[in-house]
Chains A and B, each alone.
Chain A
Amino acid sequence: MEMDKLGVIATFIHNIIVYNIPLLYGTVGEIVVEKSGSLNLGVEGIMAVGAIFGYIVGCYTNSLFIGIATAFALGALMGLLFAALTVSLQANQNITGLTLTTFGLGVYFFVGNAIKAVRWPIMSDYSNIKSGFADLPIPVLSDIPVIGKGLFSHNILVYLGIVIALVMWYYLNRTSPGLRLRAIGENPGSADSVGINVKRYKYLHICLGCGIMGIGGYYMGLNMSGSFNSACWINGYGWIAVALVIFANWNTAAAILGTFVFGFFNTLRVSGSSLAVAFPEPLGWLAKVPTQLYQALPFIITAIVLVVTSIRKREGSGLPAALGLNYFREER
């Protein structure tokens, strides 16, 4: 069989990005939330809610932009719920987050099945959604062999995800609202004492972070061509995003790298045998690795990262000191 060997590599790189960008959205969103001192384990559910509403509204309005906006808004709404429960009502953050996952998946199936029982929008019928999600090669750069297709020929939501990650890095690390937010995550009492409105900051950033997660969910739906089945589009990516936050050391720019490293192993499962066929000499062994090991690999990597991070000294760690602790002003 004739095989385009360079094409195999290009596809491999392309897939690492295309299939794993939702992790970046989830991770960046969660970092923003966690930097405010709130641990939100509801990423999976929030992405699911953003996905289902974003997809349906986006299709019915035939506008990718409205789809993105809806996904963001619904994600933010879930964030508002989380903030109301944990910031105002002082509910336990872990439990609230887990509840949001269950609730979000429930909403996903409830809305999805209800719409499907009437008329499910098929993505290819909506020209603007379909063309909006098509690859948008960057001029000149995309003409470079191999990496042109691999790195510089993606849909607009891939670029948007990377831009959001970089903007959030700048916002958190180079602006004064970002500094105030980080101060809240480290010690909300001190932040409060210098006149920072802790509640307002928490509310705003929890909603912002959850909105970003919602867009990631919408991406998953579009990448699945909006085919609604008995399994959820999010497929556990929300949980991986929670782990990737630690991998990225609470740095949204590093999250880009983390996503690609994780995506490399994730995609190796799919592309392993292709690489083995294209390059039998150095990579032939890839085809002999059992599927089960490939399935486990991303999670083994996660476990290793968690161990390494926990060994690493407190200095240099981006872990907000007050993460997971509710701030109650009267107890200050």
Chain B
Amino acid sequence: MKKFLALVMALAMTLSLAACGGDTSGEQTAGADLKVGAIYINSKNDTAGYTFAHHSGIVGGMQDLGLDPETQLFIVDEVPEDKQQVLNAVDTLVGQGVDIIFGISFGYIDAMAEAATTYPDVIFSHGTGYLSNETNFNNYFGRAYQARYLAGIAAGLKSLETGNNNVGYVAAYTTAYAETASGINGFALGVQAANPDAKIYVKNLGAWADEVNEKAYAEELINTFGCGVISQHCDSAQPQIAAQNAGVFGCGYNSDMTADAPAAHLTAAIWNWNVYYATAMQAAIDCEGDASQFVTKMGGPAYYGGLKEGFVDASELTENCAANTDKAIAAAKKLMVDGEWDVFSGVKLSVAADGTVTPAEADLVDNAGNVIVAAGGPSVEDGVITGTMNYLVAGVEEV
């Protein structure tokens, strides 16, 4: 019996070795055998939040391409933003023979850059970062400010309807990150397009996730600053729930938060991560085993999709929205999708009560009075929106 067992085990080992050999023999990668690796900051079993959004996007993107997440997706999750731990995760995934590795958290940046040099045969794709190379390493992010502008229109029209010009915004950070600053500014400009008298009060959480204070800050904005619409840049739906409890309205973020606050929610600025993941995985398949072609196939080292690509959007409008919100949002969206206009430029849109949208030249001014873009001027560069935007536009007050 023992002998038989030993024989079976030896056989199993030989076979598995042979299987490994097959993976590393450098044969061309076709769609059917693309192996996708992913490094997550939280658990892959999460049912809400940042990791959940990316995991859903990767699984969705794979399904779009006919790949099987059960057998072709390899995950290392709960990886903190620690260089050595990220490198260990990369080693694990490379050992499993993946062709492309997605790292979803900003702090993975140095490890991803280093690993891209260590493993030139593997594609590295880093979310929210800014590093890249010419061959197998890119970064990706989206024009969330465009979606926020649309949500801002919904909030602005609602503030006109209720006659309350005070709008609140619970922000993870304000001017410390271009991501948060551009989000606040995009939303504020959308609000002002509909209601030029609106004032946007921003609370700075100082943390990406702090559920207790996300709720407390929203309550503060409602009770003390009299805000009638609450927007947010944080994961949890606490600001929306607080808005509902207080009988005011709100715009969520990341995912449609209508279920959390059905009586308060107007629309949320949302991400469709699967749009990027499907694009990147298709590019990886098109590389046909030559990872160095990836950046070329992606059309550049930084992917920065917006409304046009469907990467970001405003979630389905609820019945809480003011009249003609749908018309106004559709019109503004069309201008951005067609590339005729963008948010941070010398042209401002003005939304009329009947939902028509009219562009007019105007200065883009920050809340200290500095002119950022003169009337009629071109859009602020993408590099500024993703990297160095550190001001809040006129009408926004941090409290």
Interface residues of A (CB under 8 A from B): 1-3, 7-8, 11, 15, 19, 109, 112-113, 116-117, 120, 122, 124, 223-225, 227-231, 233, 235, 267, 269-271, 273-274, 277-278, 287, 291-292, 294-295
Contact = CB atoms under 8 A, between A and B. Distances in A.
Contacts of A120: 47
Contacts of B132: none
Contacts of A19: 212, 216
Given A2-B226, A116-B47, 20 more contacts: A11-B219, A19-B216, A109-B43, A109-B45, A122-B259, A223-B212, A224-B211, A225-B245, A227-B237, A227-B238, A229-B236, A230-B42, A231-B49, A235-B212, A270-B213, A274-B225, A278-B224, A287-B399, A291-B206, A294-B206
B363 to A, nearest CB: 26
Contacts of A229: 48-49, 209, 211, 235-237
B207 interface: yes
22 contacts: A7-B223, A11-B224, A19-B212, A112-B47, A116-B47, A224-B211, A225-B238, A227-B236, A229-B49, A229-B235, A229-B237, A230-B51, A230-B209, A230-B235, A231-B49, A233-B211, A270-B220, A271-B220, A274-B399, A278-B224, A287-B399, A291-B205
A3 B45 CA distance: 45
B220 A274 contact: yes
Given A8-B224, A235-B212, A277-B399, A228 B204 contact: no
A11 to B, nearest CB: 5
Given A271-B220, A274-B220, A113 B45 contact: yes
B294 interface: no
Interface of A is mostly: helix
A1 B167 CA distance: 13
B260 interface: yes
6 closest Cβ contacts across the A-B interface? A230-B49, A291-B206, A274-B224, A116-B47, A270-B216, A273-B399
Contact of A3 (B46, B47, B224): B224
Contacts of B215: 223-225
B206 A292 contact: yes
A230 B217 contact: no
Nearest to B50: A230
Contacts of A230: 42-43, 46, 48-52, 209, 235
A47 to B, nearest CB: 13
A269 B213 contact: yes
A230 to B, nearest CB: 3
B212 A117 contact: no
Contact of A1 (B43, B166, B210, B212): B166
